Amino acid sequence: MRGSENHGGPAPLPGGSAQGGLHVAIIMDGNGRWARARGLPRVAGHRAGAQAVRRTIEAAPKLGIRTLTLYAFSSDNWQRPAQEVSTLMQLFHEYLERETPECVKHGIRLSVIGRRDRLAPELRRAIQRAEEATAGGRNLHLRIAVDYSARDAIVRAAHRVNGRRIGRAGFARLLGEAIHAGEPVPDVDLLIRTGGEQRLSDFLLWECAYAELYFTPRMWPDFEGKDLEEAVREFHRRERRFGRVLEAAG
């Protein structure tokens, strides 16, 4: 039996998301421990983490990744020491200014997902400039999650339902609006978490319904293109069933 229209139709077939190309999401964890192991302040780990972002983006298109969603700052991360929070925001702002021209050059569309109302006005403007400048990028859709909480996003989307009868596709659209994505949220194919922890920390809870999960002990600043390649290779070894029974070929 197939899912009804009301539930947004059946899950996509194994082998990638409907748009073609993989959606990979990464919880970039372990910056603080990386720095501590070297006798450095935590913020040095965040700086080194920005280099790992660059390497990851370079490697992604060659591996068949069409959408890459990076968890940069969770809504719960506001509870960290004020100095660490302000450094993270400053690094993110610098990243946008520095990398926007690079994204344009390499056909990368950059979007930021999450709440905007608690960000500094100049950062909000930088986000808007980066999104507008890179809107034509077709090689990779890079989504950076900042002040992001999946549960808060689901609650905001639920408010927008407003008693209407909507299915999964309709809810995915509302969820996209709730995180300023401007389009329905895409299912995640592969979720990677670095840093050794095996938890979701409130990231993409709806979108990861059938994601393959991949945990690596490597700390984020040490993450390289070959680590991404290994994760994607492992993804292709998995059998995605989406609740069905797959008949053996032949």
Q: Which residues bind ligand IPE (CB under 6 A)?
A: 27-33, 71-74, 77, 88, 195, 197, 199, 201
Q: Does 227 bind Mg ion (CB under 5 A)?
A: no
- The residue among 17 and 201 lying less far from Mg ion, judged by its C-beta, is 201
Binding-site partner at residue 171 among ligand IPE, Mg ion, none, CB < 5 to 8 Å by type: none
d(CA 174, CA 163): 13
Active site residue 29: yes
Smallest gap from Cβ 134 to Mg ion, in A, equals 28
Q: Candidates 26-34, 44-52, 72-80, 146-154 — which segment interacts with Mg ion by CB under 5 A?
A: 26-34
Q: Which residues of 53-83 are buried (b: 16+ CB within 10 A; e: fewer)?
A: beebbebbbebebbbbbbbbbbbebeeeeee
Minimal CB distance to ligand IPE: which residue?
32
Local structure of residue 211 (DSSP, 8 states): P
Q: Which residues pair with 145 in a beta bridge?
A: 71, 113
Active site residue 227: no
Q: Which two tokens stand for residue 182?
A: 């401007």
Instruction: Locate the DSSP E strands across the chain.
Output: 22-27, 65-74, 108-113, 140-148, 190-193, 212-215
Binding-site partner at residue 199 among Mg ion, ligand IPE, none, CB < 5 to 8 Å by type: ligand IPE
Can you give the binding site for Mg ion, defined by CB under 5 A? 29
Residue positions annotated with a catalytic role: 29, 77
